[in-house]
Structure 1
């Protein structure tokens, strides 16, 4: 698809002498992306929560100790940060966060250009029954096609359909909604400028 780049309208230039620069910026805008994360190990989440609580307790104990020992307020935070139990608790939190991060499954979706979206909808027309209840597209075939088309990682339609068919309802909906939302999120402010 080629885009004809034309000169800006004279009225626009008269109103905004920086129109050409504005158009360069508008053309350079990237399509929005959305990442969804899945975590299958609730123990890793609990470990992060426990480690954060451990750090908070260690900091509270160190703060109380600093007051008892007469540490000047100006240097108190550095004194607290240097305490062995605070250092150990901070390290434990870092390790728990790293383990959680490593186990996280992330999928990223990028919005489709409007003509591509419209073509995808045309390729998956609703059945008569679906159209009767107001659907714009076939609710059986469109979700996997949309997920595949928006997948930054290159998920195929078959892979998307497999996940939709085998995952639980909540996760399958989250997967579809990530692909839908990235295409329907407005990034414009329609208020006064």
Structure 2
């Protein structure tokens, strides 16, 4: 005996069109943008250390104000520390390179994966694609800053292993970014 499958009921289009809540929800769903991840690169260790030191100093001055809220000198030191932190962060930002990557639409991502099948060795190790050939293509395809495949391949070859992995992981990571909360209610 075969089980009969019944289709889920579909509300009449006219009823859906009249439901303002659903219409607004549909518009919000259509207007969603794909996720973006940023990778910040800074070779200026002094700028990074200055920000860390300024953060510590700002926290110490905040603690001092908390202990003695009536102390005007502590409040002035706290304001000065906040300004120093802002200045250090501005210096760090100026010394940094920010790369942005956006998730591809599902069909494009699946097509890229299919176009780069794993080698026999990679397949035996459980890979579903060839990371060596897909990496530069995915980085270029998801870059919002115009990174080319040639640029990406060069970065992956020339940078240290950890930095190359970080670049590659950012391009892959944005494809797997979830902004949903199932069961929220």
Aligned pairs (5 A) from 1:14-33: 17=19, 18-33=21-36
Corresponding residue number in structure 2 for 1:137: 129
Unaligned runs of 5+ in 1: 1-8, 68-72
2:153 equivalent to 1:161: yes
Question: How many corresponding residue pairs?
Answer: 173
With over 3 angstroms needed to count, the CA separation of the structure-2 counterparts of 1:53 and 1:138, relative to structure 1, is: closer
Corresponding residue number in structure 1 for 2:40: 37
With over 3 angstroms needed to count, the CA separation of the structure-2 counterparts of 1:183 and 1:56, relative to structure 1, is: closer
Do the aligned residues in 2 keep the contact of 1:63 with 1:80 (CA within 8 Å)? no
Correspondence for 1:96 among 66, 88, 104: 88
> CA separation in 2, counterparts of 1:46 and 1:190?
40
> CA separation in 1, counterparts of 2:80 and 2:182?
50
With over 3 angstroms needed to count, the CA separation of the structure-2 counterparts of 1:128 and 1:92, relative to structure 1, is: same
Instruction: For residue 140 of structure 1, report the CA deviation from its aligned partner.
Output: 1.3
> CA separation in 1, counterparts of 2:66 and 2:100?
42
With over 3 angstroms needed to count, the CA separation of the structure-2 counterparts of 1:92 and 1:128, relative to structure 1, is: same
User: Superposition RMSD on alpha carbons, in Å?
Assistant: 2.7
More deviation in 53-62 or 27-36?
A: 53-62
Could you tell me the TM-score, scaled by structure 1's length? 0.76
Corresponding residue number in structure 2 for 1:5: none
Could you tell me the TM-score, scaled by structure 2's length? 0.79
Corresponding residue number in structure 2 for 1:49: 52
Do the aligned residues in 1 keep the contact of 2:61 with 2:74 (CA within 8 Å)? no
Do the aligned residues in 2 keep the contact of 1:34 with 1:182 (CA within 8 Å)? yes
With over 3 angstroms needed to count, the CA separation of the structure-2 counterparts of 1:25 and 1:93, relative to structure 1, is: closer
Q: Deviations over 1:72-92 (max 9, x none)?
A: x5xx37x35763x55544433
Do the aligned residues in 1 keep the contact of 2:65 with 2:75 (CA within 8 Å)? no
Correspondence for 1:111 among 83, 95, 103: 103
> CA separation in 1, counterparts of 2:58 and 2:178?
40
- Aligned-partner SS, 1:10: coil
